[in-house]
């Protein structure tokens, strides 16, 4: 087989293939054996007609086309492998010539993974943000930690709910008009008073003065933002930030490895004045109090005992350490995002359309899966947000281009710098998958290798390692280096504690791990007290400072 290639604009390669007449003869024989089993030739049982009879019946061209259908793709695969092409899409075959006694010739144009030009990345100078913890933040952290030790007591049936109490309720939508009120469900623990419920405006205030078993109707107020004539009006719970509809939830959820995810279209707040182009509409609901609770805050002695600390000063130190670790992690993410933006500005790469289309399709699939996990139908999401599929797909396409460009630039830098993923990290990924699937590591690794997935795993780990190196050097060059509290955990991660969260865009964010007493303090701030029961706080919004239910029936 004679093979040659010619590079073309747009990361395309044209392959020219020529094979011998002997190969054509064998291909025609195979084509005959396949066709004779499928074609009914008059006067012959299926599969028994001689070749010259079959060829006379179906025509020589049909036999040649059958040979082409199998021979051309087979030769193309061999040629692409022989040339070492990193193919990213399907080939387009041209000028196929297959005739008896003649060589087989054809050309194939195929998109390949492009090579990026990373630009002058070694000159990047981006200072690491200053991180500090104020006294107010420490006091607020201690307050939330104290809340985690609080518990709820069941109120007597004749005692009305007051601000700061909690209730388990059932809410049913009665009348909505322009607002969909298809609601008939329990809400576990709702805080009573001015802190509005995130899903149903008016609910928290309506509970003030109610007792267990009581029923009450109340009004929820929503803002409707006027939109362009060709678009539908957009409804939001009154008090919530009103989306302008120009960006989809898919584009605003770039935090899961900037992966795609749907934001909750029902989130709301309270107390925001309607903008000039808005109006208020109302919906009616009914609430029944199923159980009422009062909150019991711990004494200093109870709090210290729960925290396992001898004094409030020690608690404050742990809380300050935890808050600082969280701020450092956010600062690291912000820093790496600035480095990514700089790399994208300095680097250049020409992406084949097929790569963008494939990545966009993957992001859209992720987006739809997120909606499904939330129990939201796509058509309901569009209705609630006022978005269109065109807007969502356009945003996803932009994200796909960004992801791909960044990945290819990082690949080029890794090649320049000789950076490779550590085998310990690769094994850690395999171990994690094996644990999740309940299979042994050897089987998992073998399966992933056979499917070509391990190559992508190594690429993602290499990209993460490369981005970290560039980010550390950029901060050092700017005279504001990354703190050791971030550097060391990341170094440990390189030795095997990290993991790859999917094959799309995981190079965009490098996570820092929390260490030592900071981790312990964080667990104390966010955990339940373990006194047996339920956490107090608004339904569907878990926060640090939740309380355990002390059921004293």
Strand spans (E) along 9-69: 12-19
Can you give the C-alpha Rg of the chain in angstroms?
32
Task: Tell me how far CA of residue 277 lies from CA of 223, 224, 227, 365, 538, in angstroms.
Answer: 10, 9, 8, 35, 31
Closest CA to 355 of 110, 118, 119, 93: 110
Confidence (pLDDT) at 76: 94
Token pair of 383, please? Answer: 């209705």
Helices (H), 228-311: 249-252, 300-307
The CA distance from 302 to 259, in Å, is 43
Confidence (pLDDT) at 441: 87
SS3 226: coil
Confidence (pLDDT) at 544: 30
SS3 309: coil
Number of other CB atoms surrounding residue 123 within 10 Å: 10
Confidence (pLDDT) at 57: 92
Residues 6+ away with beta carbon under 8 Å from 336: 467, 468, 471, 508, 509, 510
Strands 535-536 and 215-225, by their bridges, are unpaired
Residues 6+ away with beta carbon under 8 Å from 419: 413, 462, 465, 466, 469
Q: What is the pLDDT along the chain (553 residues), one digit of tens a residue?
A: 899 999 988 889 999 999 999 999 999 999 999 999 999 999 898 889 999 999 899 998 999 999 999 999 999 999 999 999 999 989 999 999 999 999 999 999 999 999 999 999 999 999 999 999 999 999 999 999 998 888 899 999 999 999 989 999 999 988 877 667 778 889 988 999 988 887 888 999 999 999 999 999 999 887 766 554 444 445 454 444 333 333 344 443 333 333 334 444 343 333 334 444 677 778 889 999 999 999 888 988 989 998 999 999 999 999 999 999 999 999 999 999 999 999 999 999 989 889 999 999 999 999 999 999 988 889 888 887 888 999 999 999 999 999 999 999 999 999 999 999 988 888 888 888 888 888 888 888 888 888 878 888 999 999 999 999 999 999 999 999 999 888 766 555 555 443 333 333 333 333 333 333 333 333 333 333 333 333 333 333 333 333 333 333 3
SS3 290: strand
User: Concatenated DSSP letters for 83-137?
Assistant: HT--B-S--EEEEEE--TTS-EEEEEEEEBPPPPB--SGGG---PPPP----HHH
Confidence (pLDDT) at 287: 95
Angle between helices 453-477 and 441-451 (to 10 degrees): 90
Residues 6+ away with beta carbon under 8 Å from 259: 253, 363, 366, 501, 502, 504, 505
Contact of 290 with 169, CB cutoff 8 Å: yes
Closest CA to 211 of 311, 106, 153, 291: 291
Contact of 174 with 229, CB cutoff 8 Å: no
Helices (H), 177-294: 203-206, 249-252
Q: What are the contacts of 454-459 at 24+ separation with CB within 8 A?
A: 454/426, 456/503, 457/421, 457/426, 457/429, 457/500, 457/503, 458/420, 458/421, 458/426, 459/407, 459/411, 459/421
Task: Tell me how far CA of residue 60 lies from CA of 45, 65, 67, 70, 360, in angstroms.
Answer: 21, 9, 11, 16, 43
Q: Would you state the torsion angle of the CA atoms of residues 340, 345, 350, 353, taken in this order, to the nearest 10 degrees?
A: 60
Confidence (pLDDT) at 492: 58
Closest CA to 292 of 68, 23, 20, 551: 551
Confidence (pLDDT) at 451: 83
């Amino acid at each position: 087989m004679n093979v040659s290639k010619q590079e073309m604009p747009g990361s395309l390669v044209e392959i020219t293939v020529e094979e011998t007449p002997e190969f054509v003869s064998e291909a025609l024989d195979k084509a005959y054996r396949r066709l004779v089993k499928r074609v009914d030739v008059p006067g012959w049982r299926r599969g028994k007609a001689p070749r010259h009879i079959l060829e006379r019946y179906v025509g020589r061209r049909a036999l040649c086309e059958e040979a082409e259908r199998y021979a051309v793709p087979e030769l193309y695969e061999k040629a692409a492998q022989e040339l070492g092409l990193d193919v990213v899409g399907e080939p387009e075959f041209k000028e196929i010539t297959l005739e008896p006694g003649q060589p087989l010739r054809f050309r194939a144009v195929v998109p390949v993974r492009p090579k990026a030009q990373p630009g002058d990345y070694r000159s990047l100078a981006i200072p690491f943000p200053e991180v500090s913890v104020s006294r107010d933040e420490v006091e607020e952290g201690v307050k939330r930690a104290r809340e985690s030790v609080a518990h709820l007591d069941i109120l007597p049936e004749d005692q009305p709910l007051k601000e700061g109490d909690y209730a388990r309720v059932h809410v049913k939508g009665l009348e909505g008009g322009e607002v969909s009120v298809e609601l008939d469900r329990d809400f576990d623990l709702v805080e009573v008073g001015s802190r509005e419920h995130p899903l149903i405006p008016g609910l928290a205030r309506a509970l003030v003065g109610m007792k267990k078993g009581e029923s009450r109707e109340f009004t929820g107020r929503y803002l409707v933002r006027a939109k362009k004539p060709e678009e539908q009006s957009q409804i939001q719970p009154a008090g919530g930030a009103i989306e302008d509809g120009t960006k989809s939830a898919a584009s605003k959820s770039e935090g899961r490895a900037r992966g795609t995810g749907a934001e909750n279209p029902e989130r709301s707040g309270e107390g925001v004045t309607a903008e000039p182009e808005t109006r208020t509409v109302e919906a009616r609901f009914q609430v029944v109090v199923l159980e009422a609770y009062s909150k019991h805050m711990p004494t200093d002695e109870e709090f210290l005992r729960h925290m396992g600390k001898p004094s409030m000063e020690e608690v404050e130190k742990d809380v300050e350490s935890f808050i600082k670790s969280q701020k450092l992690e956010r600062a690291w993410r912000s820093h790496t995002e600035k480095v990514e933006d700089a790399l994208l500005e300095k680097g250049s790469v020409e992406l084949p359309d097929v790569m963008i289309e494939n990545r966009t399709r993957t992001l859209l699939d992720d987006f739809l899966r997120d909606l499904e996990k939330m129990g939201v139908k796509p058509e309901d999401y569009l209705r609630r947000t006022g978005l269109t599929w065109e807007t969502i797909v356009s945003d996803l396409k932009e994200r796909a281009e960004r992801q791909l460009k960044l990945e290819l630039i990082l690949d080029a830098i890794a090649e320049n710098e000789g950076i490779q993923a550590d085998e310990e990290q690769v094994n850690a990924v395999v171990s994690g998958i094996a644990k999740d699937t309940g299979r042994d590591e050897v089987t998992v690794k073998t399966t992933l290798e056979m499917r070509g997935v391990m190559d992508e795993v190594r690429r993602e780990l290499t990209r993460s390692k490369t981005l970290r190196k560039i980010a550390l050097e950029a901060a050092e060059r700017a005279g504001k280096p990354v703190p050791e509290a971030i550097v060391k955990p990341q170094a440990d991660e390189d030795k095997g504690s990290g993991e790859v969260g999917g094959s799309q865009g995981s190079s965009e964010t490098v996570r820092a791990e929390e260490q030592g007493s900071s981790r312990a303090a964080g667990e104390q701030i966010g955990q339940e007290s373990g006194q047996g029961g339920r956490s107090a706080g608004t339904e569907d919004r878990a926060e640090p400072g939740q309380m355990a239910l002390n059921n004293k029936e």
